[in-house]
Amino acid sequence: MTSYKSQADDLLEQHNILTQNYKEIYPWYKLFSSNSEIQQLHQNVKTQINNVYLEMDSLSTKISNENNSYKDKVNTMNKNIENSKKYYSENKPKLENILESNKGSVPREYEINTKLYNNYLDTSYLVLLLGLMAYSLRKLLY
């Protein structure tokens, strides 16, 4: 994230410098269009500006690809959370019956609830962090 921000800042600074140079060269280019040195300077600055735009586009593509990979990971985590909730809701009555009837050595409901709650908090925290990262990447793009 920080490397993308520093790359974007560098590209923005390059763009500002090149546009300032272009603003200085353009009037001379219009006035002395037959001068080959001024034509070459004008062409070089235009080419450099186009290269900066191409680098910005490639950076944007990298960020969007990374954002999509994080989006897939978040979707997978959400499915896992839903599956674990469904599994718990289906198996809780069975566990209660076993515990009430003293049929086996099954961990107590409080321990199960605590472990599930801790896992839920851990995954929720990760989802929150990924959401914030996706939001900041989107802000960086726009």
Mean pLDDT of the chain: 86
Q: Which of 42-51, 73-82, 107-116 has the lowest mean pLDDT?
A: 107-116
* pTM for the whole structure: 0.53
Average pLDDT over every residue of 29-45: 88
Torsion sign, CA atoms 58, 64, 67, 71: negative
Average pLDDT over every residue of 14-41: 89
Distance CA 80, CA 76 (A): 6
Average pLDDT over every residue of 2-23: 90
Average pLDDT over every residue of 13-23: 92
Torsion sign, CA atoms 40, 42, 45, 46: negative
Taking each helix axis from N to C terminus, what angle separates 2-31 and 36-101, rounded to the nearest 10 degrees? Answer: 160
**140 has pLDDT over 60:** yes
